[in-house]
Structure 1
């Protein structure tokens, strides 16, 4: 258990740029619950485990809480729910690294978090994986947010729209599918599959 907690501490430390570091708190939940107490605003999103959930909380000791680029928040809960630390670390990294340079994904999913110091990697692949997971785990809010991000200008290269349309069809992502059909219709004169 100690190795799991330390791995999560190291993962979460990379998310914050300010000092002092957040205060870490562990308690047993459904499987594992790793909680970080921080000071601040109230955000709550419906997200699939093991993605991060930011929600309101009330704690008496906020002396070691952290802020990120001037924004603060109360309570961050990372639910492992039986997933290995490697899986959790990968998903967290995925969410924070899939951003475009303007940080649209983090702003949609986690409005108070900074993405300025994060490197961008293979963003489209990761965004499509989040879409797949959101569909599989029936998380409509995340599914809609990812689709809105994917249809923004410049996110999907024109040459990739046919591939993306296949994923949109498989995941019943209607917003994204409509956009793919519009773009492909302009490129080759077809309207695609409705």
Structure 2
């Protein structure tokens, strides 16, 4: 019998008596395609509600700019529905991301038919109205950067703030969206005009 969940405007944590295997977790996600489901390193399953229109629009703008970059420079970008199987055992889905052509060359067709078994070089996480800043910042450091992401942007559209996380552990804050941020040495030639988020 299918389990029916009522998802509030936040995330719900599900605990199973035993940790789900990779195959069982993937089957759970495939059976519930309308939900964003992630797995933590400790095996806890998190189910997130759909994002607001403002957050979804912001995600699309980042993904559109990344797609344009890929067309010109190579590599690949993935939508926010894509799950990445990370080295710590978690499966996470960034709001936008970029993977170099070199990393893409290491993947097989079989790899691409499952959760992608690699760490993106660049990720974007957009804070939605239901997200907690502290939890979102922790995800950037303890999940993305800790697993090998080289550059990450945590974006608070409502308050016009963007935090830049780097693999070397430094974090910079950009305040006010009248500026342009760049992909630094991770995405040479990539820039994003933050005014697009207004």
TM-score after normalising by structure 1: 0.29
- Greater helix proportion: 1
- Greater strand proportion: 2
TM-score after normalising by structure 2: 0.29
